[in-house]
Amino acid sequence: MSEPFHIRRARWPEDWEALQLVREQVFVQEQGVPLELEWDGRDAQAFHLLAEDRRGHPIGMARLLPEGHIGRMAVVRPWRGRGVGTALLRAMVEEGRRRGLERLVLSAQLEAVPFYERAGFRALGEVFEDAGIPHRRMELRLRPA
CB 103 within 8 A of CB 23: no
Domain that holds residue 100: 5-141
Residues ≥6 apart with Cβ < 8 Å to 89: 62, 70, 73, 116, 119
CATH number at residue 48: 3.40.630.30
Q: Is 56 left (phi over 0), alpha (psi -120 to 50) or beta?
A: left
How many independent structural domains does the chain possess?
1
**What is the spatial distance between Cα 139 and Cα 117, in angstroms, rounded to a whole number?**
9
CB 97 within 8 A of CB 142: yes
Global pTM value: 0.94
pLDDT tens, residue by residue, 66-87: 999 999 999 999 999 999 999 9
pLDDT tens, residue by residue, 90-107: 999 999 999 999 999 999
